[in-house]
A and B are shown apart, each in its own frame.
Chain A
Amino acid sequence: MSLINNINKVFDHRVRLGIMSILMVNEYADFNTLKELLDVTDGNLASHTKALEKAEYIIIEKQFIGKKPNTRYIATKLGRLAFQKHIDALEQLIKNTE
C-alpha cells in the first residue's frame, strides 16, 4: 500500500485540513476568520494552528491593528506542496476504491 504513504498524517484531522484549505486560496487569514469558517473554539483552533506551525506548513504572524492584537496565518511553500501531495493522494485513493 504505497498510496497510503502519501496520505499526510498532519492533515488527518478535519480542522487542520480546513485551515490548510482556506490558506491555500487566501494570501492570509486571521484568527477570527478561521474560527468562523471552521466553527471551532479558540483553544481548539490554537492547538491545531500550533501543530501546523510545528510542521512548518504555516507561519503565524502576530501584530497590532490599532490597539487590538491580530494574528494572521500564512501557508508556507512547504505547506502548499505537502497539501497538494495530500490531495493528490486522496484523489488516487478514491479512484482506486471506486
Chain B
Amino acid sequence: MTQPDEYQMGLSSRKAIYIPFPQAVPCSYILDMEHCLGNNPIACGKCQDVCEKQAINYDDADEVITREVGAIIVAIGLDVYDPTEMDEYGYTRYDNVITSMEFERLICAGGPTAGHFVRPGDSQRPKRIGFVQCVGSRNPKIGRPWCSNICCMNTVKDTLLLADHYPDVENVVYYQDIRAFGKSFEDMFQRSKEAGTRYVRGLPGDVEENPTNGNLLVTVENTTSGKLERHELDMLVLSVGVEPPKDLAKISGLLTLSKTSDGFLMESHPKLKPVDAPTRGVYFAGFCESPKDIKDSVCQAGAAASRAGALLNAGKITIEAITSQIDAESCTKCGVCARVCPYGAIQWKKGEVAVVIEAACAGCGACGAACQFGSITMRHFTDAQLVAQVRAIMAEKPKEKVMVFACNWCSYAGGDMAGISRIQYPATNRVMRTMCSARVSEDMVLEAFRVGAPIVLVSGCHYADCHYINANRQTVQRVQRLWNKLEKAGVRPERLQLEWISAAEGQKFAQVMKQMEELRQTVTDEEIAHAMEALKPKPKKKPKPKAEPAAAAAP
C-alpha cells in the first residue's frame, strides 16, 4: 500500500504506516487508517505481525481530553496558496511548472531526490529556471489583495541556493516589486544579483510548453524597458502566496475572535495591543494574525507568551462591573432572560425567580433589553442611563441628527477605525455605545423616535464575529418586531436601519453614515411629528422611566 507523501509535496510516496519525516516529533510510526488494509486484519495485518512490541492497535479511537486553562495562544499558522485556479502559468498542465513549496522538497537533501535538483518531467537537471512572484498575492482580482510578505525573500534565497549548488545555472525572477525590507535582506538581494540572477520587472502574460522537450516559453512585458520579451526556460517556479488557514473560522467561532478584511485574525489594537485578541486571555502568535516570516513569528510568539505569562502569574482577573443584576421583587419569573442569554449565565426554573451567575455573565445586556418588566439592571449600562443619553443627544434640533447605536466590539470599533484611517463622512450622526447591539431595547429605539430622531440605526457585529457568541440574533429579532410596530403606528419603517459593521470596516462605517445622512434628508417634519405622537407609551399601572409597550411579547 503506497500513498503520495504529503511531507514531500506528493513528489514521492509513503506506506500506510509511516513516520511523517525523519525529524518528526514524536518520532513514531502512525497509521493512515483511511488507506490501511489492516483495518480488516484478514486483508493485511502485516505490520502487527512484525511489531515485536505489539504497539499496533487498529482499533485505537480518537479521545476527547478536557483541560481547564487560564490563557490561550492561537498559533494556527497558514495555508499555502494552491495555484490550480490561476492556471495561466500552466501549473496543472505542464510538468516542469512547480510551486515554491515543491522547490523546497526538490532542493532538500532529505527530499525525494536526495537534494539533486531535477525536473519532475524528465528527471533532468534544469539550467534555466524562472521564478514568478506574487502568485496568489497582491491580486485583488482573485480576492487576494494582500502581500504575503515572505515570497520575495524566499525566492532570493532559492536563487542563491541554486547558484551555490550549480554555478552554471541561469535564474530569472519575474516580479512586481521586490520587498527586501528586513535586516540583511537587501544584502541577500544584492548577492543574488551578483550571482547572476536576472530580475525582470513584470509578470508573465503567457506560458507555453514545448511538448517535445518539456521546456517552457514565457512571454513577459518588461515594464522597465517597455519591451515584450520571450524566454525559453527549463523550469518555472511559482512563488505562491499564503492565506489564512481553513481552520481559522472554527477557532475564531470557538473563541469569539474577529477577522480583518483579508481573513487573518484581528488584534485588539493594531499598534498598542498587537498580540492580544479582543477576547481577554487569548493571544496570537505567528502567521494566523498576518503574513510574517520565521523571525517575526518567533518574536510574536515570545510576546504572546509574555502576555499570557503575565496573566497566569497574576493568578486572577477582574471582571468589568458591567454584569446583569436581577431584581427578585419585580421579576415575574417568565424566564425570557434565561432563554436569550448566550452564556447560560442565568439560572431559571419555571415558577422561580431568575438568578444571574455573575462569573459567567459577560455583560452583553441581551437579557436587560429582553426583560419587559424592568427587572434587570445592566450595571454601568442601565436603561435609565442609556435613555438619558438618547434624550440628551436629541435635546436640540433632533431633526438634523441620525441616532446610531453601536456595539463596543465591532461597530463602535469600526467607527474608531474610520477615524484612525481618516475616512470622512457627514457629521450628522450621533453614536451611542452599548456593549452589544442586543442591549438596545425596543424602548430605546422608540424613545429616540419619540424625541424626534428622523433616523435610528442599530449596528452590531457580523454574525460570524458577534463578541457575545450569538447575542446579535436577538438584535435581528427585535428590529424585525420594531419594523412591524412602526408600520402599525403609521411610521415609515425604513426610518429604522440595521447594519453589521466589523471592527476592521472603517470604510463600511463611513459608507453607512453617508447612506444614513441621505436617508435622513428624505424624512419630513410631518413624519417626525407623527412618530413623536404615535409612539407615545400607553399609560401603564406604574409609570416608570422605562415604559414598555405591552404588545411585544417575546416568543
Chain A complexes with chain B: no
Q: Which residues of A contact B (CB under 8 A)?
A: none
